[in-house]
């Protein structure tokens, strides 16, 4: 053994010596590096390069650890078709040292690219937008809530386990009871009945069942007492979990001043969840037939996550999706895909992220806010909120399309609310006054029996205000009585327009096909001869002056010919085929008018018209949700089809 150990040591020493020898040989054979003049000093002196101190820098503020909270309130709001621009105002004590102030508790869907900050004193050194979830899994409050919930859950589980044990015990007692009954039956049959033994068994079963039932009642009572605590704990856990999914925005502003001063700081930003639409009222009086009052409102609804209490409100039809850059025309290159891609890319803004955050968090944000307010007591608050949001989305769809059509004609408008009123953040619509004017008007009665058997009283006016009238619904009032709704198109400043006021009930209208003089001959080219009898009667006790209107077809298709026109009393139609009679009827007077013409057209025209109507009906199944449009010009093909349906 000693010899083996000695041999191993000798081998190790030999290998070590061999390695050292090879290393020395390699060092001796290495080619020396050429010495340069710069090497001399370095080989004899140690030279230390001076270290340049870093430039002054400004620490980046963090929303959780830094920043003095600035109390602020919403002072101005501009509402667009699909978003709102808010301006918050707060006061800050600015000193010579850079100080960070924080606008906290803003919704998580603030548009970063729209943030603007101004200060009445000092200098703004930095502005930063920070976001954080309202709660995290590492928060002490969450850990405490989770621990309490687990403790209550374990107690409930223990009680349920105890009930399971008691149930198993009861089953065992029942089995003993069944066995004893079987045993007593057998003993009775063989004549070996021990009364004392049977009594002991019966007493054991009775006492055991009584004790089991008592224990079950005690556990059930404890379970009932603990269930409300468990439900409350579960709600707290769910609330805390919802906070983990909900973001809030903090805007950090770093200010500095040469000398201490009090500064008014304003924060402006955009966020989705707001819309508005124009509405109007037309108020006329029978005692004053020369003037009418036109009142314009802005119906605003918002679920932006903030209540607008006492803020100055404005409303704009302007689009906010345009790129924020200097207008510059590029070459109109047809087919250049790179240019098209560049233009489309430039339209994508930070608002896309804000819109996505709003859609994912707005409902949860409202739920959390309602839980912390008195409105939590309302049982239908969730249902009301959802209903308001659905209505707001419907209005938003209308206004976006409406305001885009105004931009295409190169028109935008800006209105300011004439009174301050709070707008809640739950989507409840609020109507704000944006215009009131008295316009000169001319009242006129128009009867068009082909379109309606009710004569209409209209008001002709000129927009003499400083603002245009936007398209929308108009509520009609006569002597304070609500008469219904009508529509108005865009009316520019200085433009003349007419509005429907009421129905002229004192005029009785009739328009019927004279079947004796009307024929339809179907050939390769159909021939249709039509004659209408129009009657007008004044049912009032006063003289009635009005305009009677009718029409004859005007062909814009060379395959369709209109001839043999007869009009009694004679009147010349205009270029659109419209006939006008200026009439004055005495009380009880009745007048008759006759209109006749012949139309010749290809037989397949009706089939083509039917196919076109079917295609249009299938192409727009959701047309009822679109904003009301002005009546379109009637095509002669449609008129022919309607005439054929009379035969």
pLDDT digits (tens, 9 = 90+) for 399-432: 888 888 887 777 788 999 988 888 888 888 899 9
Predicted confidence at residue 239, as pLDDT, reads: 73
Between residues 143 and 220, which one has the greater pLDDT? Answer: 220
Task: Tell whether 208 is covered by a domain.
Answer: yes
Residue 537 or residue 30, greater confidence: 537
Q: Residue 39: what pLDDT?
A: 43
| Biggest alpha carbon–alpha carbon distance for the chain | 150
Chain mean position to CA 519: 56
| 471 burial level (CB within 10 Å; 0-12, 13-18, 19+) | buried
Position 30 in a domain: no
Q: What letters, b where the CB count within 10 A reaches 16 and e where it falls short, cover 594-624?
A: ebbbbbbbeeebbeebeeeeeeeeeeeeeee
| Region label for 516, one of left (φ > 0), alpha (ψ between -120 and 50) or beta (otherwise) | alpha
388 lies in a domain?
A: no
Q: Is residue 297 part of a domain?
A: no
Question: What does the pLDDT read at residue 556?
Answer: 82
**CA 69, 71, 73 angle in degrees (round to 5)?**
140
Q: Tell me whether residue 534 is in a domain.
A: yes
Q: Which residues contact 365 (CB under 8 A, 6 or more apart)?
A: 107, 108, 246, 305
Hey, which residues does 631 pair with through a beta bridge? none
Residue with tokens 């709660």: 135
**d(C-alpha 384, C-alpha 390), whole Å:** 10
Q: Is the pLDDT of residue 511 over 50?
A: yes
For residue 51, give the DSSP letter: P
Write the CATH number for 176.
Answer: 1.10.287
Answer yes or no: is 436 within a domain.
no
Find the range with the poorest average confidence among 111-120, 211-220, 343-352, 358-367: 343-352
**Sign of the CA dihedral with 13 first, then 18, 21, and 22 last:** negative
Q: Is residue 579 part of a domain?
A: yes
**Position 375 confidence tier, pLDDT thresholds 50, 70, 90:** very low
User: Among residues 230, 245, 260, which one ends one of the domains?
Assistant: 245
Strands (E), 303-416: 312-316, 414-416
Tokens 């295409």 sit on residue? 408
Q: What is the per-residue pLDDT across 438-456, written as a single tens digit (0 to 9) for each?
A: 999 999 999 999 999 999 9
The SS3 call for residue 538 is strand
Mean of pLDDT values over 580-605: 92
Q: What is the pTM of this model?
A: 0.67
CA-CA distances (angstroms) from residue 423 to 30, 199, 275, 313, 396?
Answer: 87, 81, 12, 10, 17
- Distance, in Å, from the CA atom of 327 to the CA atom of 153, rounded to the nearest integer, reads 64
Close Cβ partners of 354 (under 8 Å, ≥ 6 residues apart): 109, 110, 111, 112, 270, 271, 272
**Tell me: the pLDDT tens digits for 320-355?**
665 445 555 555 544 444 444 443 444 456 788 888
Secondary structure of 563-599 in HEC code, one letter for each residue: EEEEEECCCCCCCCCEEEEEEEECCCCEEEEEEEEEE
Convert the pLDDT of each residue in 79-131 to its tens digit.
999 999 999 999 999 999 999 999 998 998 899 888 999 999 999 999 999 98
| C-alpha distance from residue 366 to each of 14, 124, 463 (Å) | 84, 33, 42
**Alpha helix ranges (H) inside 586-632:** 604-619
Report the alpha-carbon distance of residue 461 to residue 464 in Å, rounded.
9
Inter-residue contact 101 to 122 (CB < 8 Å) = no
Token pair listed for 350: 């930070």
Write 415-421 long-range contacts (CB < 8 A, 24+). Answer: 415/296, 415/298, 415/314, 415/315, 415/316, 415/467, 416/312, 416/313, 416/314, 416/315, 417/298, 417/312, 417/313, 417/314, 417/315, 420/310, 420/311, 420/312, 420/313, 421/313
Per-residue pLDDT for 37 more than 50?
no
For the stretch 390-399, what's the b/e string if a residue is b when 16 or more beta carbons lie within 10 angstroms of its beta carbon?
eebeebbbbb
Domain count, the chain: 2
> Of 212, 228, 245, which marks where a domain is finished?
245
pLDDT of residue 269: 94
Torsion angle of C-alpha atoms 169, 170, 171, 172, degrees rounded to 10: 50
Using the predicted structure, report yes or no on whether residue 65 has a pLDDT greater than 80.
no
Which segments within 401-555 are labelled E, that is strand? 414-416, 430-447, 455-462, 472-478, 481-488, 496-504, 507-513, 519-521, 525-538, 544-551
For residues 578, 581, 587 and 593, what is the CA-based torsion angle, rounded to 10 degrees? -70
pLDDT above 70 covers what percent of the chain?
76
CA distances from 324 to 114, 128, 319, 346, 630 (A): 10, 20, 12, 9, 35
User: Are the C-beta atoms of residues 246 and 364 closer than 8 Å to each other?
Assistant: yes
Residue 184 lies in a domain: yes
Residue 555 has pLDDT above 80, yes or no: yes
User: In whole angstroms, what is the distance from residue 512 CA to residue 450 CA?
Assistant: 9
Span 609-619, average pLDDT: 73
CA 537 to chain centre: 52
Range of the structural domain that residue 190 is part of: 140-245
Q: Which one of 224, 245, 266 terminates a domain?
A: 245
Contacts of 576 (CB under 8 A, 6+ apart): 551, 554
Q: How far is CA 321 from the centre of its chain?
A: 16
**H or E segment at 172?**
helix 140-190
**What pLDDT digit, counting tens, does each position of 145-164 carry?**
888 888 898 988 999 999 99
pLDDT digits (tens, 9 = 90+) for 257-289: 999 999 999 999 999 999 999 999 999 998 888
List CB contacts of 532: < 8 A, sequence separation 6 or more. Answer: 511, 512, 513, 514, 550, 594, 595, 596
């Amino acid at each position: 053994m000693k010899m083996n150990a000695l041999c191993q040591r000798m081998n190790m020493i030999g290998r070590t010596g061999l390695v050292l020898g090879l290393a020395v040989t390699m060092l001796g054979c290495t080619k020396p590096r050429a010495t340069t003049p710069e090497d001399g000093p370095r080989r004899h002196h140690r030279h230390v390069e001076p270290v340049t101190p870093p430039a002054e820098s400004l620490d980046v503020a963090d929303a959780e650890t830094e920043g003095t909270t600035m109390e602020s309130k919403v002072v101005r709001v501009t509402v667009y078709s699909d978003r709102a621009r808010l301006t918050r105002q707060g006061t800050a004590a600015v000193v010579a040292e850079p100080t960070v102030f924080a606008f906290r508790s803003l919704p998580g869907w603030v548009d970063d690219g729209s943030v603007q900050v101004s200060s009445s004193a000092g200098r703004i050194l930095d502005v930063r937008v920070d976001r954080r979830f309202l709660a995290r899994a590492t928060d002490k409050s969450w850990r405490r809530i989770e621990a309490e919930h687990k403790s209550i859950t374990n107690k409930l589980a223990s009680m349920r386990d105890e009930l399971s044990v008691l149930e198993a015990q009861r089953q065992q007692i029942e089995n003993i009871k069944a066995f004893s009954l079987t045993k007593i039956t057998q003993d009775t049959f063989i004549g070996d009945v021990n009364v004392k033994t049977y009594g002991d068994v019966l007493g054991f079963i009775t006492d055991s069942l009584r004790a089991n039932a008592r224990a079950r009642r005690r556990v059930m009572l404890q379970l009932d007492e603990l269930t409300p605590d468990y439900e409350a704990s579960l709600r707290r856990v769910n609330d805390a979990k919802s906070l983990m999914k909900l973001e809030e925005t903090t805007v950090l502003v770093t200010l500095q001043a040469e000398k201490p001063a009090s500064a008014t700081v304003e924060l402006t930003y955009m966020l989705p969840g707001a819309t508005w639409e124009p509405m109007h009222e037309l108020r006329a009086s029978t005692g004053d037939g020369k003037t009418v009052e036109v009142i314009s409102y802005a119906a605003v609804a918002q679920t932006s996550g903030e209540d607008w209490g006492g803020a100055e409100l404005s409303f704009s039809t302007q689009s906010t999706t345009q790129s924020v850059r200097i207008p510059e025309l590029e070459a109109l290159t047809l087919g250049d895909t790179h240019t098209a891609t560049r233009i489309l890319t430039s339209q994508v803004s930070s608002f896309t992220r804000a819109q996505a955050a709003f859609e994912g968090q707005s409902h949860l944000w409202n739920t959390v806010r309602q839980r912390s307010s008195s409105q939590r007591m309302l049982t239908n608050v969730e249902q009301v909120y959802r209903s308001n949001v659905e209505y707001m989305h419907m209005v938003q769809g209308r206004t976006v399309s409406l305001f885009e059509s105004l931009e295409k004609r190169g028109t935008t408008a800006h209105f300011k609310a004439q009174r301050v009123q709070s707008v809640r953040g739950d989507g409840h619509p609020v109507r704000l006054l944006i215009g009131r004017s008295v316009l000169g008007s001319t009242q006129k009665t128009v009867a068009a029996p082909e379109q309606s058997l009710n004569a209409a009283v209209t008001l002709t006016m000129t927009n003499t205000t400083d603002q245009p009238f936007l398209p929308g619904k108009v509520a009609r009032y006569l002597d304070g009585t609500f008469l219904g709704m009508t529509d108005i198109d865009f009316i520019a400043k200085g433009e003349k327009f007419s509005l429907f006021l009421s129905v002229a009930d004192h005029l009785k209208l009739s328009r019927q096909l004279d079947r004796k003089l009307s024929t339809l001959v179907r050939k390769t080219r159909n021939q249709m001869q039509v004659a209408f009898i129009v009657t007008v009667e004044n049912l009032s006790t006063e003289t009635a002056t009005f305009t009677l209107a009718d029409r004859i077809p005007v062909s814009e298709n060379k395959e369709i010919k209109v001839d043999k026109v007869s009009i009694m009393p004679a009147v010349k139609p205009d270029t659109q085929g419209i006939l006008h009679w200026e009439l004055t009827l005495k009380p009880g007077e009745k007048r008759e008018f006759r209109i006749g013409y012949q139309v010749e057209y290809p037989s397949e025209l009706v089939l083509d018209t039917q196919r076109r109507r079917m295609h249009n009906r299938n192409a727009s199944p959701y047309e009822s949700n679109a904003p009301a449009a002005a009546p379109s010009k009637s095509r002669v093909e449609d008129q022919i089809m309607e005439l054929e349906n009379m035969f």
